[in-house]
């Protein structure tokens, strides 16, 4: 992040990602806790009602609740786990849910619910875009690399070829108070993946 133009571009990416909220599923926190408990206690397939992204957009745009029809989706509890994380420093709170393929080798979907500052919201949104379709081993490596950069206090940057738009979060590592915000979703995904190990 050497030039002011690049810094401005990165700021725009973070603001856009915080607003876009990719992977955001309101109400996930409550349903994910039950799903995780089910995953730990049984190997059955659970059916959950989830609000679609289109329905959420309709409600956010002031549309009627009747236009926001929920859909049924079947989630295999053996391949799905969630983690709830809280940052007491600034009050950010996230629940991240991950679903793996039947062989538990690849990430099928990442969804989240929560609230917090624009850095935490942008970070989990960018994480969602980056991780879907990745092998679990690669996802774990990316989480470790992200953590290493965040702990560098601005001495290291994320590789844009590897981290894509999430590389814009490199600047957060310069501000100790923002590191936890940027890491929150990544820690939640790491914990959810660990539950599926």
The span from the CA of 49 to the CA of 66, in Å, is 15
Partners of 100 in the β-ladder: 107
Q: Which residue has the tokens 């309709």?
A: 58
| Token couple for 93 | 């709170």
- N residues, the chain: 197
- Residue 50 pLDDT grade (very low, low, confident, very high; cuts 50, 70, 90): very low
| Token couple for 129 | 């875009």
| 71 found inside a domain | no
| Cα of 123 vs its chain's centroid, Å | 7
pLDDT at 40 over 70: no
Mean per-residue pLDDT, 68-82: 59
3-state secondary structure of 82: strand
Q: What is the pLDDT of residue 76?
A: 64
The tally of CA atoms less than 13 A away on the side-chain side of residue 167 is 14
CB 121 within 8 A of CB 142: no
The span from the CA of 123 to the CA of 187, in Å, is 11
Greatest CA separation found in the chain? 53
Mean per-residue pLDDT, 40-57: 37
| 66 found inside a domain | no
- Residue 66 pLDDT grade (very low, low, confident, very high; cuts 50, 70, 90): very low
CATH number, domain with residue 113: 3.90.1010.10
Mean per-residue pLDDT, 166-182: 93
Q: Which residue has the tokens 């990430």?
A: 107
Q: What would the pLDDT profile of 119-137 be if each residue is shown by its tens digit?
A: 999 999 999 999 999 999 9
Q: What is the pLDDT of residue 18?
A: 92
Q: What is the pLDDT of residue 133?
A: 97
Higher-confidence residue of 181 and 45: namely 181
| 40 found inside a domain | no
Long-range Cβ contact pairs of 4-10 (< 8 A, separation 24 or more): 7/171, 9/168, 10/167, 10/168, 10/170, 10/171
- Residue 31 pLDDT grade (very low, low, confident, very high; cuts 50, 70, 90): low
| 57 found inside a domain | no
Q: What stretch of H or E contains 84?
A: strand 80-87
- The burial class, CB within 10 Å (0-12 / 13-18 / 19+), for 191 is middle
| 118 found inside a domain | yes
Residue-number span of the structural domain to which 95 is assigned: 4-22+78-195
Mean per-residue pLDDT, 22-49: 57
Q: Which range (61-65, 82-86, 91-95, 145-149) has the least confidence?
A: 61-65
The CA-CA-CA angle for residues 16, 60, 52, to 5°, reads: 90
| 38 found inside a domain | no
Mean per-residue pLDDT, 18-39: 73
Q: Say how many domains are in the chain.
A: 1
Q: What would the pLDDT profile of 105-119 be if each residue is shown by its tens digit?
A: 999 999 999 999 999
Under DSSP, the state recorded for 42 is -
| 127 found inside a domain | yes
- Residue 32 pLDDT grade (very low, low, confident, very high; cuts 50, 70, 90): low
Whole-prediction pTM value? 0.78
| 187 found inside a domain | yes
């Amino acid at each position: 992040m050497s030039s002011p133009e690049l810094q401005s571009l990165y700021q725009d990416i973070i603001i856009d990602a915080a607003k876009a909220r990719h992977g955001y599923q309101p109400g996930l926190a409550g349903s994910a806790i039950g799903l995780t408990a089910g995953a730990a206690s049984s190997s059955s397939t659970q059916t959950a009602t989830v609000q679609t992204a289109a329905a959420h957009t309709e409600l956010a745009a002031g549309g009627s609740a009747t236009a926001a029809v929920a859909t049924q989706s079947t989630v295999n509890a053996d391949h799905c786990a969630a983690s709830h994380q809280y940052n007491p420093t600034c009050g950010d709170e996230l629940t991240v849910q991950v679903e793996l393929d039947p062989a538990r080798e690849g990430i099928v979907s990442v969804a989240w619910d929560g609230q917090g500052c624009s850095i935490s919201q942008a970070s989990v949104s960018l994480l969602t875009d980056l991780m879907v379709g990745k092998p679990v081993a690669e996802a774990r490596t990316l989480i470790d690399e992200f953590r290493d950069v965040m702990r560098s206090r601005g001495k290291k940057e994320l590789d844009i070829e590897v981290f894509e738009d999430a590389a814009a979060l490199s600047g957060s590592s310069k501000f100790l108070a923002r590191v936890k915000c940027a890491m929150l979703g990544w820690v939640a995904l790491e914990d959810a993946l660990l539950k599926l190990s």
